[in-house]
């Protein structure tokens, strides 16, 4: 039996924190606005830190799929037909979940994907075909928001991977992708980050996925 193609689970490879065995809606305390500090004299009153806390709520989402197979297949198959079909359904579920982790619609029945999540930054570059500038902007955005660029990772759509692989830092001098890294960041390409629908260009997301 030749199985359909199945790329590895993306989010776990990126190092996200997974919480297993959750039941129902849960809430986590969150540091929504980071604290700051003010230099003061020895007897001056303390300034407000600006620290704000809120709650981040997670509610369950349900995905399902089904198929039909005949009693004849079940009786005559030399292979474990039920196991093969169950695995095929599982792979289909993984493909859907992996895709929605990036592009799932906010507020719908699916999980909210990164591209539709409030607060995701989109750095602007002067020249959209300057791929070095695009990834430099992503790296700058992570650093400017106090992220750790040493552990940051980038995820590229198929076209973004193609374009980055053929681009140069300075034309004719140095490749943009070197030693498995792009602008110093580990990266991976996946079909679950779909190419942009406008102008047939790629898409990329970068960040500290473990945070």
**pLDDT score at 200:** 66
For residues 122-135, give the mean pLDDT: 74
Contact by Cβ (8 Å): 160, 195: yes
As to burial, measured by CB atoms within 10 angstroms (0-12 exposed, 13-18 middle, 19+ buried), residue 115 is middle
**pLDDT score at 40:** 92
As to burial, measured by CB atoms within 10 angstroms (0-12 exposed, 13-18 middle, 19+ buried), residue 118 is exposed
**pLDDT score at 153:** 93
pLDDT digits (tens, 9 = 90+) for 159-174: 888 888 877 655 556 6
**pLDDT score at 48:** 94
The pTM is what? 0.76
For residues 105-118, give the mean pLDDT: 86
pLDDT digits (tens, 9 = 90+) for 178-192: 888 888 899 999 999
């Amino acid at each position: 039996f030749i199985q359909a193609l199945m790329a590895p689970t993306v989010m776990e490879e990126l190092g996200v924190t997974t919480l297993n065995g959750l039941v129902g809606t849960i809430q986590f305390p969150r540091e929504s606005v980071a604290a700051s500090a003010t230099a003061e004299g020895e007897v001056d009153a303390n300034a407000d830190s600006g620290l704000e806390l809120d709650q981040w709520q997670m509610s369950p989402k349900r995905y399902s799929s089904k198929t039909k197979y005949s009693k004849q297949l079940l009786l005559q198959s030399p292979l474990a037909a039920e196991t093969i079909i169950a695995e095929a359904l599982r792979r289909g579920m993984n493909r859907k979940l992996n895709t929605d982790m990036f592009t799932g619609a906010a507020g719908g029945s699916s999980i909210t994907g990164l591209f539709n999540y409030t607060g995701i930054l989109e750095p602007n570059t002067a020249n959209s075909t300057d791929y070095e500038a695009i990834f430099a902007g992503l790296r700058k955005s992570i650093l400017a928001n106090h992220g750790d660029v040493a552990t940051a990772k980038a995820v590229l759509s198929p076209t973004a991977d193609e374009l980055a692989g053929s681009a140069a830092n300075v034309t004719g001098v140095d490749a943009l992708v070197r030693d498995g890294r792009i602008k110093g960041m580990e990266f991976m390409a996946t079909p679950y980050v779909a190419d942009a629908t406008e102008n047939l260009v790629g898409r990329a997301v970068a960040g500290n996925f473990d945070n």
